[in-house]
Amino acid sequence: MNLLLRDPASIPDTLPGEPPSGAATGVGLWARVALGLATLPLVAAAAVPLWLPYLALVALYGRPPVALRAAQVRRYVNAILHGQPPAPGLTLARRLYLLVLVLRKAVMVPLPGLAWLLDEVLYGRRLDAVPLEAPLFEVSAGRSGSTQLARYFEDDPRLAAPSLLLAMFPYLWLHRLVRSTVGRFVSADTVRRKIEATLPTAFVERHEVDPFRTDTFDGALFIAHLNSYCFFVGPDMAAEDFAMGRAAPVNRALWEEDFVVLLERIGRKRLFDAGPGPDGAPRRLFVKGHFLAGAPALARRFPDARFFTMLREPAPRFQSGINYIRVNPIDPVLGPPAWPWLVAGALRTEVEYCQVEKAWFTAPDGPRRCVLRFHEYLADLPGTLRRVYAECLDSTPPPDAPTEHPPRRRSHYQVDRSLEQLGIDAVALHLHLADYVAWCRGYGAG
């Protein structure tokens, strides 16, 4: 990988025209550290009464997939306290702030755990009875055009896809409570506008956020656990915890156990809440994400599942993806990930994703799979939809399926560094992934 990446430490933090990072520094950061350390014992004390009912329900219904794993907490604490990542390094203040974030999430495990288990108490048997047959999974690499494609399928009333809100807050009782109270007075458009107003313009430019529509499902796993902090601990942690192509050994249980349970249960909640389709038949579950690391486990859990991917050549995809992660508002105090860590970590995970994706989608055995190509999707949307429906759903698109893509702004981003500005050797990248590039262009298997 060193052959593909020039000295990452030489990547400047800002370029002319880019917005400031917004990260807290100096006195401001130390003030947040002091506040976090002072309130951590109070948060822990408030959680104490929740542990007994939480553990009692765990004994009855099993461990919630949204509950942190102790091994991951230990790994992050050890990396934060003792890790020596390369430049720009970790200052003492940032180490302490990260430590507060991790420990606060750890001591509050009973809160999301009880929220999850309450669904099991209220709806468990009815969820178990929900038909979940031949689910459809769109498993594509990041920045491949997968979200827009997913929303075309989401519009089919014969399918049901978890919304972004349901993935982030996977508690059916909460959604039903909000709909029956606040939802009567606050419209969905108002919620959309309020949420978008809180997001940085640089992020909204690159991703059309709609809390009531489907989005990348992996976020449900990353936010429930500690993976969303990986780029702030160093490139090595990022290479392990942002790896969506193949599960690192330390994350095997996360992908093969927690993720599968999380997806299945949220899927059943969505199907249960949606009810049958307009023809009276049960809807089929549709989930979109980049969860290739969990695909083998999903295929074992659902032998009748169908998978499809969208291939986009690595150079433009890597460029878009790295810039996208940089502007993703993970924590306002931490600000964006440092460019050197972001580029080094993301490059490792994305190169591996390409290699695993080609191997898995072209393997002679396994579940039903379909391979789409980004350039064909742009040129022939109806043909793309017909292919997926024929190969994965044994059906045809609905009569009102779109025939043209809606216009979208795809340039003049606030943050849009080229591969050269990111220190990535585009020629070496192309040569390193030559087989994959040929596959993306339609010259390989699949």
229-258: pLDDT as tens digits: 999 999 999 999 999 999 999 999 999 999
Q: Provide the Cα torsion 413, 6, 234, 433; round to 10°.
A: 80
What single DSSP character describes residue 146?
H
pLDDT score at 386: 97
Residues 212, 164 contacting (CB under 8 angstroms): yes
Residues 132, 285 contacting (CB under 8 angstroms): yes
Residue 260 has pLDDT above 70, yes or no: yes
pLDDT score at 410: 67
pLDDT, averaged across the chain: 95
Average pLDDT over residues 338-344: 96
pLDDT score at 1: 57
Task: Label residue 444 by pLDDT band (50, 70, 90).
Answer: low
| Number of other CB atoms surrounding residue 135 within 10 Å | 21
pLDDT, tens only, 152-186: 999 999 999 999 999 999 999 999 999 999 999 99
The three-state secondary structure class of 308 is: strand
Residue 296 has pLDDT above 90, yes or no: yes
pLDDT, tens only, 362-376: 999 999 999 999 999
> What is the CATH architecture assignment of 8-23+134-440?
3-Layer(aba) Sandwich (3.40)
Please state, in angstroms and as integers, the Cα–Cα distance from residue 64 to each residue in 4, 110, 112, 196, following that order. 40, 10, 9, 30
Residue 149 has pLDDT above 90, yes or no: yes
Average pLDDT over residues 113-142: 98
* DSSP H or E stretch at residue 112: helix 110-128
**Token pair in block for residue 383:** 């043909």
CA 137, CA 368: separation in Å to the nearest integer? 10
* Least confident piece of the model among 12-26, 248-262, 295-309: 12-26
Residues 122, 254 contacting (CB under 8 angstroms): no
Phi, psi of 288 (to 5 degrees): -115, 140
Q: pTM for the complete prediction?
A: 0.95
Average pLDDT over residues 70-78: 98
Q: Which of 317, 314, 316, 324 is nearest to 414 (CA)?
A: 324
pLDDT score at 208: 86
Residues 327, 206 contacting (CB under 8 angstroms): yes
pLDDT, tens only, 392-433: 999 999 999 999 998 876 678 999 999 999 999 999 999 999
In the sheet with 284-289, reading across from the earlier edge strand, the strands are: 159-160, 284-289, 136-139, 306-311, 368-373
Task: Label residue 225 by pLDDT band (50, 70, 90).
Answer: very high
pLDDT score at 409: 66
Cα 295–Cα 300–Cα 305 angle in degrees, nearest 5:
70
Cis geometry, peptide bond prior to residue 86 (ω within 30 degrees of 0): no
Helix axes 381-392, 146-154, angle to 10 degrees: 70
Average pLDDT over residues 109-114: 98
| Number of other CB atoms surrounding residue 247 within 10 Å | 20
Q: Provide the Cα torsion 159, 164, 168, 171; round to 10°.
A: -50
CA 293, CA 281: separation in Å to the nearest integer? 32
**Max CA distance (Å), the chain:** 62
